[in-house]
Amino acid sequence: MTQLLIGLVRTEHEAIIMLNKLKEEGIADKYLGAVAKEQVNLEMVSEKTGLPLPLKGAGTDGALGVLKGVLAGLGKRMDQTMSIGKAVRKLAGNEIGSETDDLVLTLTEAGVSEEDANYYEDWLVQGHILVVVECSEEEAARIAPILLF
């Protein structure tokens, strides 16, 4: 059975260290990812880990993007997430903050408890990073200590 494990890091450098340790343990790139607020330098994390360039999500394009631009002009725009890695594509472009449950709903749909999802959202709002691993139960037991950075 597949599990979703999440590690909490404060900086891009910590994310790079954690992701590279996970890769050293044999976790393939397609099962790794990182999520942060738009302002965090995930480009550097991508470059130093070999993960794909950051995605900002479909929510930043098209008609919804225009609406978000108008709201930003009115001072009402929520922060959004960006992500690197296939394991977290659905988390790109999620709004975070006190007036939305966008990210929380996406995480709970992936099997994360609502309490944990709210905690993770708060972590991102503070400008920190989530490192996400999709793995088997056997791998989870082996790599869990790495995620306790």
User: pLDDT (tens digit, 9 = 90+) per residue, 124-134?
Assistant: 999 999 999 99
Find out whether 11 and 129 touch, Cβ atoms under 8 Å.
yes
Among 43, 31, 37, residue whose Cα is nearest residue 4? 31
The reported pLDDT for the residue numbered 101 is 86
Three-state DSSP class for residue 56: coil
Three-state DSSP class for residue 11: coil
Highest mean pLDDT among 37-46, 68-77, 86-95, 138-147: 138-147
**Which residues, including other chains, have CB under 8 Å from residue 73's CB and lie 6 or more apart?**
none
pLDDT band at 39 (very low <50, low <70, confident <90, very high): confident
The reported pLDDT for the residue numbered 72 is 47
Token pair listed for 115? 């309490």
The reported pLDDT for the residue numbered 57 is 63
The reported pLDDT for the residue numbered 28 is 96
Q: Note the pTM of the prediction, 2 decimals.
A: 0.85
pLDDT band at 63 (very low <50, low <70, confident <90, very high): very low
